[in-house]
């Protein structure tokens, strides 16, 4: 049932061709959620204005390319994450104007002209965390957020972090990607007054347990402004950071 059908039903009541009791019965038994459908379905998208994103892992190159093309044709900004080499080839063949971000393992296509809104910082410790950090950065940029990258900052050389403190202070939210012991978000959380979103990365060996050790470290953080997302989930961190940055920088 959509709005038109609902209007029609109510008009029948108005015209006297349908009794109130019968209309009531119909309404009670029809899938009213369908009205809600549109509202619910697009609720989040409509409020945040954030484009849909394609998670390419587990999709065939052809599937990803087809969805990407359809969304591009609809005039949306498009982002595909976790793209492997064959997927890159397939998508760029279909939408040659799209941009490949190798480090982020992502492909984006920007066609709307929105002004940047909000500002986040993305921090990571070493070269091994770069792909996750870049997934976050590229996602946030496609969403229209200004991103400051601070990428050579680890807890075992604490001065490097202190040296970028001023830059941290400008951000509306900070994303911290870290593997191994996952200690960086706690230290960053102590330096800034905004939400810190911690992303454990699957970097490490032995008892890093593919990021689980870093995850535990982050959930146990003694800094109260730290929240956490799944291992390697740079996209999710960028999504929430963008919501915060936009709310902090209304236009």
Residue 148 binds to a second copy (criterion: CB under 8 A): no
Burial 210-230 (b: 16+ CB within 10 A, else e): bbebbbebbeebebebbbbbe
Residue 121 binds to a second copy (criterion: CB under 8 A): no
Closer residue to a second copy, CB minimum distance, 97 or 174: 174
Residue 101 binds to a second copy (criterion: CB under 8 A): no
Sign of the Cα torsion 147, 151, 154, 158 reads negative
Closer residue to a second copy, CB minimum distance, 28 or 74: 28
Euclidean distance between CA atoms 94 and 101, whole angstroms: 17
Euclidean distance between CA atoms 52 and 55, whole angstroms: 10
Residue 248 binds to a second copy (criterion: CB under 8 A): yes
For 148, what's the count of Cα atoms within 13 Å in the CB-facing half-sphere? 17
Residue 132 binds to a second copy (criterion: CB under 8 A): no
Residue 152 binds to a second copy (criterion: CB under 8 A): no
Residue 175 binds to a second copy (criterion: CB under 8 A): no
Closest CA to 88 of 111, 104, 73, 76: 104
123 class by beta-carbon count within 10 Å (0-12 exposed, 13-18 middle, 19+ buried): buried
Q: 63-92: which residues touch a second copy (CB under 8 A)?
A: 63
Supply the minimum distance, in Å, between the C-beta of residue 89 and a second copy.
21
Total chain residues near a second copy (CB under 8 A): 112
User: Rounded to 5 degrees, what angle do the CA atoms 162, 166, 168 make?
Assistant: 85
Closer residue to a second copy, CB minimum distance, 53 or 91: 53
Q: Which stretch binds a second copy (CB under 8 A): 72-80, 88-96, 108-116, 165-173?
A: 165-173
Q: 34-53: which residues touch a second copy (CB under 8 A)?
A: 34-41, 43-44, 46-48, 53
Closer residue to a second copy, CB minimum distance, 15 or 96: 15
Supply the minimum distance, in Å, between the C-beta of residue 97 and a second copy.
25
Q: Are strands 99-101 and 106-109 parallel, antiparallel or unpaired?
A: antiparallel
Euclidean distance between CA atoms 69 and 80, whole angstroms: 11
Among residues 51, 106, 192, 234, the one that binds a second copy under rule CB under 8 A: 192
């Amino acid at each position: 049932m959509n709005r038109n059908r609902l209007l029609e039903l109510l008009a029948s009541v108005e015209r006297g061709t349908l009794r109130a009791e019968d209309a009531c019965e119909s309404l009670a038994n029809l899938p009213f959620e369908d009205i809600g459908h549109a509202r619910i379905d697009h609720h989040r998208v409509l409020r945040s204005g954030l484009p849909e994103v394609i998670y390419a892992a587990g999709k065939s190159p052809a599937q990803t390319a087809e969805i990407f093309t359809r969304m591009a044709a609809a005039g949306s900004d498009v982002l595909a994450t976790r793209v492997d080499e064959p997927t890159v080839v397939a998508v760029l063949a279909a939408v040659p104007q799209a941009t490949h971000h190798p480090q982020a393992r992502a492909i984006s296509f920007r066609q709307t002209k929105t002004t940047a809104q909000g500002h986040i910082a993305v921090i990571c410790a070493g070269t091994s965390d770069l792909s996750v950090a870049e997934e976050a950065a590229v996602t946030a940029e496609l969403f229209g957020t200004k991103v400051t990258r601070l990428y050579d900052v680890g807890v075992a050389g604490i001065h490097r972090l202190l040296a970028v403190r001023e830059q941290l202070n400008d951000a509306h939210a900070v994303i911290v990607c870290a593997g191994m012991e996952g200690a960086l978000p706690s230290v960053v959380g102590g330096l800034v007054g905004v939400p810190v979103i911690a992303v454990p990365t699957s970097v490490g060996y032995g008892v890093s347990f593919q990021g689980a050790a870093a995850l535990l470290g982050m959930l146990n953080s003694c800094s109260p402004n730290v929240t956490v997302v799944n291992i390697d989930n740079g996209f999710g961190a960028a999504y929430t950071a963008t919501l915060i940055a936009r709310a902090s920088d209304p236009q």
